[in-house]
Amino acid sequence: MRNVLLPLMALFAAAASAQTLTRVVFQADPTAFPNPDRGLNTSSNFNYRDFSAVRAKGSSLTRPYIRLDEYRDRPLPQDFLDQLTAGFQEARRVGIKLIPRFSYNYAIGDPDATSAQIQSHLQQLAPIFAANQDVISLVEAGFIGAWGEWHHSTSASDSPAAEAEVVQALMAAVPSSRMIAIRYPADLRRLQGSGPIRKSEAFTGTLRARLGSHQDCFLASADDWGTWGLVYDAATQRWKKGLNSVTQDKAYIARNAAFAPVGGETCNVNPPRSSCRVALSELAYLHWTYLNQEFEPQVIQAFKDEGCFDEINRRLGYRFDLTEASFSPAVTAGESLKLNFRLVNRGFASMFNARPLFVVLRNAGQRFVFPLKEDPRSWSPGASKKVSVTLPLSPSVPSGAYTLSLWLPDQAISIRDNPLYAVRFANDGVWDAEAGDNVLSMNVRICEGTAPVTSSSRFRVLRAVFRIPQHDTARGCR
């Protein structure tokens, strides 16, 4: 079924204002389900491309460690680059997105690469990032030190100067549509320079506006094993307790997270800090978008035993809950359809990747698609958002019954029509998995010419039966 794109032209407000609108109240869906760019992620081995298991585990995200151990002092060979391309193609086939992290080792004390070598490798990787940005959710900065976590570098790549060089190279190699997550708040603060991302600069593609946070020992100790409250002492070349307290660092990350992603993993059980009570509080405060569901297994099991695992699964990232909608139940082709809807973001975080929003009118043969000037990234956690639009219909739209839906597909044309990359709302009975639409009504009438709606009809939306009022020649289809 092809999409017919109908731009929003001059609005026929007089015709729309005469319409009696049908109001629908929606029921929340309490279940957990995957959505793009958010949720419980898996870990995967990029070399073996074991991505088929990601969807089976209820995830839309996986974080592959991409090991560069053999290339610490030499260029990346073409066969390795070809394997990367094949891995991205497999992710696209399965319908998932990736959070790549590159590393030259997998243990403290093992060698990594110099800043110069990292920059050279990033130049080689740039074309692959560009060709596959559609299936990259974000990139963890990686490359430096043990596990690519920016500590214990054997090549002095974790000095402030080297880290700045690597971040500049990352910014050049990774398309500006994608963000980079930094391991330590102290590094993030230094790289951003003048405080967290401001609203005026959000999503502008600058270095400051593209930096988020990943934390690899969430809840593990009072400072999460050095995540919080540290600065780098250049004189001793060691990390030490700095001027920024744990509380100040967390406040910084929370503010930055209004416009950039936060995620990571746990690394050891540490009650009571690793309890559900603390976890839920900090996940909400820091606006987490993704969490590794496989590590650390004892912490994840404790979440299940204490009863918060499902809530974490539901609330990571965004979770859009439609509360109500009102719309024109019947419209004459050539006039305008009016639509209002209200939703609440019940997730921990906002979206961070650009995503379009469309209104869709669909019958058995066609989809008429209306782009809206609305940025879903502005739908903040805990906030209610009302959207009101008036949609001019072409006189050529065939008469009949239509399904009215909201569609949030991927920004990338390459995967836009794949429903696995479309956003599902957290409501009972609205999700059309085949189309990737969120259905508001299954019976909006488009009338031809001056034909009136002459009788009252019933249609079922969600769990309620709604009545379309009778229309005379002055209202609705006329």
Please name the residues in contact with 107: beta carbons below 8 A apart, sequence gap of 6 or more. 146, 147
In a domain, 297, yes or no: yes
Please name the residues in contact with 322: beta carbons below 8 A apart, sequence gap of 6 or more. 26, 341, 342, 343, 425, 427, 430, 438, 440
Same domain membership, residue 127 and residue 20: no
Phi and psi for 359 in degrees, rounded to 5?
-95, 135
**In degrees, to the nearest 5, what angle opens at C-alpha 260 toward C-alphas 221 and 380?**
100
In a domain, 473, yes or no: no
Specify the number of domains making up the chain: 2
Same domain membership, residue 330 and residue 218: no
* Of 180, 222, 216, nearest in space to 197 by CA: 180
Q: Are 83 and 67 in contact (CB under 8 A)?
A: no
Chosen domain end from 315, 331, 356: 315
CA distance 157 to 145: 7
CA distance 25 to 48: 47
Tell me how far CA of residue 64 lies from CA of 80, 142, 436, in angstroms: 15, 11, 27
In a domain, 475, yes or no: no
Same domain membership, residue 454 and residue 362: yes
Chosen domain end from 315, 338, 373: 315
What pLDDT score does 468 carry? 29
In a domain, 474, yes or no: no
CA distance 34 to 354: 18
In a domain, 477, yes or no: no
Same domain membership, residue 82 and residue 180: yes
CA distance 301 to 380: 30
Same domain membership, residue 128 and residue 80: yes
What pLDDT score does 477 carry? 63
In a domain, 476, yes or no: no
DSSP per-residue codes, 413-454: GGGTT-GGGSPPPSBTT-EETTTTEEEEEEEEEEE-TT----
Same domain membership, residue 326 and residue 311: no
What pLDDT score does 19 carry? 61
Pairing assessment for the beta strands 101-103 and 61-67 based on DSSP bridges: parallel
CA distance 187 to 184: 5
Same domain membership, residue 232 and residue 124: yes
Tokens of 399: 């008469």
* Of 169, 149, 135, 163, nearest in space to 213 by CA: 149
Same domain membership, residue 334 and residue 307: no
Tell me how far CA of residue 420 lies from CA of 74, 274, 349, in angstroms: 38, 33, 21
Same domain membership, residue 453 and residue 306: no
Provide the angle, in degrees to the nearest 10, between the axes of the packed helices 246-256 and 185-192: 60
- Give the CATH number for residue 373: 2.60.40.770
* Of 101, 106, 103, nearest in space to 63 by CA: 101
* pTM greater than 0.75: yes
In a domain, 164, yes or no: yes
- Give the CATH number for residue 225: 3.20.20
Residue 388's DSSP bridge partners are 340
Chosen domain end from 315, 341, 367: 315
CA distance 384 to 475: 31
Tokens of 260: 């950039």
Same domain membership, residue 297 and residue 323: no
CA torsion sign for 134, 136, 141, 145 is negative
Same domain membership, residue 413 and residue 275: no
Determine the structural domain holding residue 366 and report its residue range.
3-29+319-468
Phi and psi for 372 in degrees, rounded to 5?
-105, 145
Per-residue tens of pLDDT for the chain, all 478 residues? 657 665 443 333 333 345 699 999 999 999 999 999 999 999 998 876 779 899 999 999 999 999 999 999 999 999 999 999 999 999 999 999 999 999 999 999 999 999 999 999 999 999 999 999 999 999 999 999 999 999 999 999 999 999 999 999 999 999 999 999 999 999 999 999 999 999 999 999 999 999 999 999 999 999 999 999 987 676 776 677 776 799 999 999 999 999 999 999 999 999 999 999 999 999 999 999 999 999 999 999 999 999 999 999 999 999 999 999 999 999 999 999 999 999 999 999 999 999 999 999 999 989 999 999 999 999 999 999 999 999 999 999 999 999 999 999 999 999 999 999 999 999 999 999 999 999 999 999 999 865 333 333 322 333 332 332 333 333 456 5
Scanning 74-159, the segments in alpha helix (DSSP H) are 78-94, 115-131
Same domain membership, residue 173 and residue 159: yes
Tokens of 416: 């836009």
CA distance 268 to 464: 48
